[in-house]
A and B are shown apart, each in its own frame.
Chain A
Amino acid sequence: METENDLKDIWQSGTVKVKKPVIDPAHKQKHADIISSIRHTLKVENAFNIVFTVLVIIWMVLDKAYLIGIGFLVIMIPGIMYYLHFIKKLNAVRYDTDVNHYLHDVYKFFARFINHYKIFGYIAIVVGFGFGINIYSDDFELRFEKLKTFFSSPISIVLIVFGILLVNLITYLIYGRKKRILKKMLEEFE
């Protein structure tokens, strides 16, 4: 009881000068908040995805490799849509909910994104190898044989495993710190 009175007495004992900075809507933040930071990363990555997709499609058309081009689009379009959907979800995160709810929301979206990001990376690695060895083969059976040989050779397995590890490492380097910060804050509620 004594502590309670002590602390509250100290808190109310002085009048702290209240500073009122002029609100500037164009204020350039020197910090990045987690939401804006994730959103920015997603936007940059999606812009890269779009440019990359367009360049590959142009290449495929010039090479008359239409089937591969369509296959590539089938993979990339859902990916791009997913990014857009995620950005929309992040825009809907509200700051005016209770702190616990807010942090859970942000963490949930973020963790989900990281998982999807990894899965997308794994698929890209496997399909990328598959496309890579097939690109200049006209004969379908020959392509199939090449694929079979490639995916059953130990070197290709090592390459794919290496690729998957690389995806994990990149994901950790880009998002690991942000995830740790959020997790640590949520743990403070326990």
Chain B
Amino acid sequence: MIEQKKFQDLINEHAAILNKVCRLYTDTEEDFDDYYQEIAIQLWKSYAKFRGDSKLSTWVYQVAINTCLSQLRKKKRRPEATPIDGLFDLAEPENDHIKDERLGALYQAIKRLKEIDRALILLYLEDKSYKEITEILGLSMSNVGVKINRVKTQLKQMINGNGK
């Protein structure tokens, strides 16, 4: 019971990470919920084995990204599926409209990247160090730098309307 409570706290504490990861790998509200639940289940299954060798957030990212990458696409999209973007309207009233639009455009551009590149840029934008990115993704340090630069250029082109 205590473990369950601790686990629920952990999920709440890292809800922002789970939201961002799920958002980058899904297009509809149904898929978002589905992925969120699956990540929570995989976190719970791995929770007992977590020995604290890495930071808790590193572990959460690993499980969340691995879970999302493992999901097979559905054969048929349900007609009633609700687009996820409507659910993610920026809630803060003080945010100006232009900022919201730019952030929305960035999310859309990231979703057009390859699956691994999405994870890579998410970690970069979340201000993770190269060492942490290496730890989460299993890429070499030099490869991380090269890839980040390539993805940033790609994103810039997409946002400016020059991307494919």
Contacts and interface: CB of A to CB of B under 8 A. Distances in A.
A96 B42 CA distance: 9
A103 B69 contact: yes
A34 B42 CA distance: 14
Interface residues of B, number: 67
A99 B119 contact: yes
A60 interface: no
Interface in B145-162: 152-153, 155-156
Contacts of A106: 70
Contacts of B31: 30-31
A181 interface: yes
Contact of A16 (B30, B103, B136): B103
A33 B72 CA distance: 5
A154 interface: no
B46 A7 contact: no
B152 A7 contact: yes
Interface in A70-105: 94-103
A30 B30 contact: yes
A99 B99 contact: no
Interface residues of A, number: 44
Contact of B137 (A27, A34, A98): A98
A30 B34 contact: yes
A29 interface: yes
B106 A29 contact: no
A14 interface: yes
Contact of B34 (A23, A31, A96): A31
Nearest to A12: B125
A16 B125 CA distance: 14
Interface in B1-21: 8, 11-12, 15-16, 19-20
A24 B62 CA distance: 21
B16 A18 contact: yes
A13 interface: yes
Nearest to A23: B40
A10 B100 CA distance: 9
A13 B95 contact: yes
Interface in A1-19: 3-4, 6-8, 10-11, 13-19
22 contacts: A3-B155, A8-B127, A17-B88, A18-B15, A19-B36, A21-B36, A23-B8, A24-B37, A29-B38, A30-B74, A31-B74, A37-B72, A95-B46, A95-B66, A95-B70, A96-B49, A99-B66, A99-B137, A100-B137, A103-B69, A106-B70, A188-B114
Interface of A: 3-4, 6-8, 10-11, 13-21, 23-25, 27, 29-35, 37, 94-103, 106, 178, 181, 185, 188-189
Interface of B: 8, 11-12, 15-16, 19-20, 23, 30-38, 40-42, 44-46, 49-50, 59, 62-63, 65-67, 69-74, 87-92, 95, 99-100, 102-103, 106, 114-117, 119, 125-127, 135-139, 143, 152-153, 155-156
